[in-house]
Amino acid sequence: MNVVPTKSLAERLKDPSLLVSQCYLDGVFVGEGVDPVADPGSGALLAKVPCFGAAEATTAVEAASAAFPAWAGLLAKQRSKILRKWFDLIEANREDLALILTCEQGKPLKEALGEIDYGASYVEFYAEEAKRVAGETLPSHRLDARVLVLRQPVGVVAAITPWNFPSAMITRKVAPALAAGCTVVIKPAPETPLSALALCVLAERVGIPKGVFNVITGDAPAIGSVLTSHPAVRVVGFTGSTEVGKLLMRQAAGTVKKVALELGGNAPFLVFDDADVDAAVEGAIIAKFRNAGQTCVCANRIYAQAGVYDAFVAKLSKAVADLSVGHGLEDGVVQGPLINEEAVAKVERHVADATAKGASVVIGGERHALGRTFFQPTVLSNVTADMAVAREETFGPLA
């Protein structure tokens, strides 16, 4: 199976101008390409983006802070119209956005299209909610007084987003912030900045004013330090590892920012004796192998009661054997590559640890013949609670 696309990403796009390799600060695309962005499936270089640091992050925050009064001062209906236009443009360009997403992240094109639609739904929803940010009048303990509740935008919002859902996790954080009247600074994952920048292009086209929407790439610790310590930033939203989430929370404590964290998981999947085994297998495939197992809510531990254990393992293994592995742009592919070599090595470590402690490999268990960052869809049996696979988030195609 060929894992190298025959055309470049730009050649595949209906609108090549969506493929941007500069940061967007204060309404201007700036910066020279330094950090490579590669296709995890083929290894092909897609772009080079700027490696900005604390100085540029400060510029982004100050631009967002300066733009805040005017953006917050718009009528809710005006912000709603702009967000609705952004949604319409995202939908109109969904195929190009999905191509960019698949090439930089690896997930199958069908999943990427689903993510674009899912992400766009946040913009659609909050475009309407923008008109419903109303206050309240509540009764008081005094007959001659009432309690008036006002809802006002807090200021600059920093959004630090992950590589596994590089489009939807941006709209999920940014759309409500913009709807409320806040301005934003986005720090996308270094593996997948192109989806963020493509959304930025569309945001600019619909007339989001300069400074309201900023995207910065580069030195993650330096940028993160500014976003969590600058007094103008009032909210920090982060999706990623628990370790980094703890660090950001500590850094944000000094200025008492609001912090919204979506961190790692270790979700269980339970199959009881009276379960429909076929339905359970279908659910397990979706829960475990979507995005090659690289989701924070995917099933990381699968428990089956003794009465259905053997049947479930057999049917799950057969279903896993039928999963088509390849580059996300190829027809029929269900599982794409993992994001990088480090991710593959972690799956290998979990398999090795489990087998050393008594687990059995029912199917898979090794790097795929396609090489690079491809790993065989894998099922282990006789897993116990002391094994790393049961205690840590694998983030790979390992059940």
Provide φ and ψ at 234, rounded to 5°: -105, -20
Q: What is the percent of the chain where pLDDT is above 90?
A: 97
pLDDT number for residue 135: 87
Residue 347 clears pLDDT 60, i.e. is over it? yes
Give the span between the Cα atoms of 174 and 184, in whole angstroms: 7
Give the span between the Cα atoms of 221 and 226, in whole angstroms: 9
pLDDT number for residue 119: 98
Cβ–Cβ contacts within 10 Å for residue 221, how many? 11
Helices within the chain (DSSP H only): 9-12, 54-73, 76-92, 94-105, 109-129, 168-180, 193-205, 220-229, 242-253, 277-289, 306-321, 341-356, 388-391
* 37 Cβ neighbours under 8 A, 6+ residues apart: 21, 45, 46, 47, 48, 49, 104, 190, 191, 192, 193, 194
Confidence grade of residue 1 (pLDDT, cut at 50, 70, 90):
very low
296 is catalytic: yes
Topology of domain 267-391 in CATH is: Aldehyde Dehydrogenase; Chain A, domain 2 (3.40.309)
Model confidence, pTM = 0.95
- Report the CATH superfamily, name and number, of domain 20-262: Aldehyde Dehydrogenase; Chain A, domain 1 (3.40.605.10)
Give the span between the Cα atoms of 277 and 272, in whole angstroms: 9
pLDDT digits (tens, 9 = 90+) for 68-86: 999 999 999 999 999 999 9
11 is catalytic: no
Residue 212 clears pLDDT 60, i.e. is over it? yes
* 366 Cβ neighbours under 8 A, 6+ residues apart: 375, 376
Pair 294, 164: CB distance under 8 Å? yes
Q: Calculate mean pLDDT across residues 329-352.
A: 98
Residue 188 clears pLDDT 50, i.e. is over it? yes
CA-nearest of 391, 383, 365, 115 to 264 is 391
pLDDT number for residue 270: 98
Residue 93 clears pLDDT 70, i.e. is over it? yes
pLDDT number for residue 4: 54
Confidence grade of residue 134 (pLDDT, cut at 50, 70, 90):
confident
Q: Calculate mean pLDDT across residues 179-197.
A: 99
Query: Which of the residues 182, 200, 296, 298 is marked catalytic?
Result: 296
pLDDT digits (tens, 9 = 90+) for 281-317: 999 999 999 999 999 889 999 999 999 999 999 999 9
CA-nearest of 282, 283, 325, 174 to 237 is 174
Confidence grade of residue 230 (pLDDT, cut at 50, 70, 90):
very high
- Domain boundaries, given as residue ranges, for the chain: 20-262, 267-391
Confidence grade of residue 7 (pLDDT, cut at 50, 70, 90):
confident
CA distances to 22, 85, 128 from 204, rounded to whole Å, are: 14, 11, 20
pLDDT number for residue 3: 59
Positive or negative torsion for Cα 172, 174, 175, 181: positive
Confidence grade of residue 6 (pLDDT, cut at 50, 70, 90):
low
Q: What is the DSSP letter of 305?
A: -
Mean pLDDT, all residues of the chain: 97
Query: Which of the residues 91, 95, 262, 330 is marked catalytic?
Result: 262
